[in-house]
Amino acid sequence: MQLLDQMKSRECTRTGDVMTAIRLKISSRALASGDRLPSIRSFAATMGVSPSTVVEAYDRLAAEGLIRARRGSGFYVANTGLPPMALTEVGPRRDQAVDPFWVSRQSLDADPAVIKPGCGWLPAEWMPQTALRRALRTLSRDENAVLADYGSTRGSPILRRLLLGRFADEGIEASLEQVLLTSSGTQAIDLICRFLLRPGDAVLVDDPCYFNFQALLRAHQVKIVGVPYTPSGPDMKAFEAALIAERPRLYITNSALHNPTGATISPQTAHRLLSAAAAHDLTIVEDDIFADFEPEPSPRLTVLDGLNRVIRIGSFSKTLSASIRCGYIAARADWIEGLADLQVATNFGGPSPAATELIANVLGGGSYRKHMDELRQRLARARHETAARLESLGIQPWLMPRGGFYLWCRLPDGHDSALLARIAVEENIVLAPGNVFSVSQTAAQFLRFNVAQLGDPRILAVLQRAMASHPAN
């Protein structure tokens, strides 16, 4: 393989030389905005390289936005009025409201220098990079149709079949007609809401719950009803009272490892919940996105119910890649038929066939299993280390989760997490304050920490300083 590496690096160096030469021409004003670049043939002669090397270099510079191809007349220096290499943009405004969008906006659009102990994903280095890169190389040799065509309305049968296999392991019997692939896990819930809800309907969520459930339900103009979440699932007395008082159409919850608390529903609560749902004709969306982080499977509403009134959704963003986006819905076949039509109307079909090919390749392989084994061990260590470090500041985990990367923590009495979050963001640290998760706004004393994103010592230093500057009253 040495020969190959040498050849590759020589090829890269030549392309790089051509790119550097052009960059210099532009930065030295030898070429100004709007100027035509030397023709490929003539510049290849000038540089003593092949025309294909110049083509490659121009292509890359164009992809960077520094130059631009114009139809039929060659390449020109870009003239959009922006400084040529300023490809990053102004980050999110820091004075935005601490609402259900707060964490998404601050963490998704943050400058790379910002530290994000409040975000909802693992560091890129913790993801199965080797398998992803191998899958991309495999995809680069795949059939034309996979690279260019729309794909079927329900998405890759290969990936759906892999999901059926995983469902079968859990004890869920389902057919291919009961699975629909979507653009993302969030879009899966969005489609279900469009399919089942009308403005003004009541929808139950856990209090606290994943903040984006609230953002999504607001977009559907429904009444959001929070039910207090306990260490063994929703508070069933409050749940049953809400069923009677609000007659909700839907309940949306996380199974396996609850977001943000990391709690797990107990078998008794799961059974009682499904009985109550049947008595009141309630449909349930079980978001299974954290399932692979469990050391062993916990009670599942979908398993007890058998895809009758429970709809299972999930995605691969937390364990495989958030960049290669794909979600899924498993439900009654007649609902899937309606949901597939709705996805054609609103997105002209499901996720990218190229994306589902990549996911099936990684997910179906033995290396994914090994990756998840290692990841669970790594996260278990990180949970315990983080808990110990937070406790040294008087910040206490509400419970110690069985798996996953969240710790839902209580601040010492008198501290307000929204205030801490506002102070921290000024120091380039994004926290997840409790009330962005709480319908009743009763979680002001809580913060959700991502134990995989807490490596930087500045985080605890800033927390300590912020708590000291606004002491408990």
Please answer whether residues 235 and 228 qualify as being in contact, where contact means their C-beta atoms are separated by less than 8 angstroms: yes
Among the listed residues 146, 136, 143, 89, the one whose alpha carbon sits nearest the alpha carbon of residue 112: 89
The yes or no reply on residue 62 touching its own copies (CB under 8 A) is yes
Among the listed residues 306, 206, 196, 182, the one whose alpha carbon sits nearest the alpha carbon of residue 255: 206
The yes or no reply on residue 41 touching its own copies (CB under 8 A) is no
Q: The dihedral of CA 465, 467, 470, 473: what is its sign?
A: negative
> Cα(164)–Cα(175) distance, rounded to whole angstroms?
7
> Cα(451)–Cα(231) distance, rounded to whole angstroms?
19
Window contacting its own copies (CB under 8 A); options: 103-111, 270-278, 417-425, 447-455: 103-111
Measured in whole angstroms, the distance separating CA 149 from the mean position of its chain's CA atoms is 25
Measured in residues, the chain has a length of 473
Output the smallest distance, CB 328 to its own copies, in A. 14
Measured in whole angstroms, the distance separating CA 394 from the mean position of its chain's CA atoms is 30
The yes or no reply on residue 457 touching its own copies (CB under 8 A) is no
C-beta of 24 vs 344, nearer to its own copies: 344
Site map 130..169 versus its own copies, x via CB under 8 A: --xxx-xx-xxx-xxxxxxxxxxxx--xx--xx-xx--xx
Please answer whether residues 132 and 333 qualify as being in contact, where contact means their C-beta atoms are separated by less than 8 angstroms: no
> Cα(181)–Cα(293) distance, rounded to whole angstroms?
21
The yes or no reply on residue 253 touching its own copies (CB under 8 A) is no
Window contacting its own copies (CB under 8 A); options: 64-72, 261-269, 279-287, 397-405: 64-72
The yes or no reply on residue 276 touching its own copies (CB under 8 A) is no
Output the smallest distance, CB 398 to its own copies, in A. 25
The yes or no reply on residue 101 touching its own copies (CB under 8 A) is yes
C-beta of 157 vs 231, nearer to its own copies: 157
Among the listed residues 262, 336, 266, the one whose alpha carbon sits nearest the alpha carbon of residue 300: 266
Please answer whether residues 359 and 320 qualify as being in contact, where contact means their C-beta atoms are separated by less than 8 angstroms: yes
List the one residue from 208, 248, 262, 349 that touches its own copies (CB under 8 A): 349
Query: Position 278: which residue type?
Result: A
Output the smallest distance, CB 20 to its own copies, in A. 18
Measured in whole angstroms, the distance separating CA 320 from the mean position of its chain's CA atoms is 10
C-beta of 148 vs 388, nearer to its own copies: 148
Show contacts with its own copies in window 68-97 (CB under 8 A): 68-72, 75, 78-80, 82, 87-89
Structure tokens at 231: 């260490």
The yes or no reply on residue 218 touching its own copies (CB under 8 A) is yes
Output the smallest distance, CB 256 to its own copies, in A. 14
List the one residue from 24, 30, 32, 124 that touches its own copies (CB under 8 A): 124
The yes or no reply on residue 13 touching its own copies (CB under 8 A) is no
Instruction: Please count the CA atoms within 13 angstroms of the CA of 280 that sit on its side-chain side.
Output: 23
The yes or no reply on residue 113 touching its own copies (CB under 8 A) is no
Site map 361..400 versus its own copies, x via CB under 8 A: x-xxxxxxx--xx---------------------------
List the one residue from 17, 23, 25, 65 that touches its own copies (CB under 8 A): 65
Q: How many Cβ atoms sit within 10 Å of the Cβ of residue 231?
A: 14
Output the smallest distance, CB 42 to its own copies, in A. 14
**Max CA distance (Å), the chain:** 81
C-beta of 214 vs 264, nearer to its own copies: 214
Show contacts with its own copies in window 175-204 (CB under 8 A): 176-177, 183-187, 190, 194, 199
Output the smallest distance, CB 10 to its own copies, in A. 13
C-beta of 62 vs 399, nearer to its own copies: 62
Strands 446-450 and 406-410: antiparallel
Output the smallest distance, CB 355 to its own copies, in A. 6
The yes or no reply on residue 4 touching its own copies (CB under 8 A) is yes
The yes or no reply on residue 16 touching its own copies (CB under 8 A) is no
C-beta of 314 vs 351, nearer to its own copies: 351
Show contacts with its own copies in window 298-337 (CB under 8 A): 317, 321-325
Strands 396-397 and 327-330: unpaired
The yes or no reply on residue 348 touching its own copies (CB under 8 A) is yes
> Cα(298)–Cα(301) distance, rounded to whole angstroms?
10
Structure tokens at 20: 């550097």
| Residues binding its own copies: number (CB under 8 A) | 111
List the one residue from 203, 256, 329, 355 that touches its own copies (CB under 8 A): 355
Strands 250-254 and 233-234: unpaired
The yes or no reply on residue 215 touching its own copies (CB under 8 A) is yes
Instruction: Tell me the C-alpha to C-alpha distance, in Å, between residue 135 and each of 229, 356, 361, 415, 417.
Output: 40, 11, 6, 47, 42
Please answer whether residues 454 and 461 qualify as being in contact, where contact means their C-beta atoms are separated by less than 8 angstroms: no
The yes or no reply on residue 466 touching its own copies (CB under 8 A) is no
Instruction: Tell me the C-alpha to C-alpha distance, in Å, between residue 191 and each of 178, 183, 319, 461.
Output: 15, 10, 23, 43
Output the smallest distance, CB 451 to its own copies, in A. 18
Output the smallest distance, CB 181 to its own copies, in A. 12
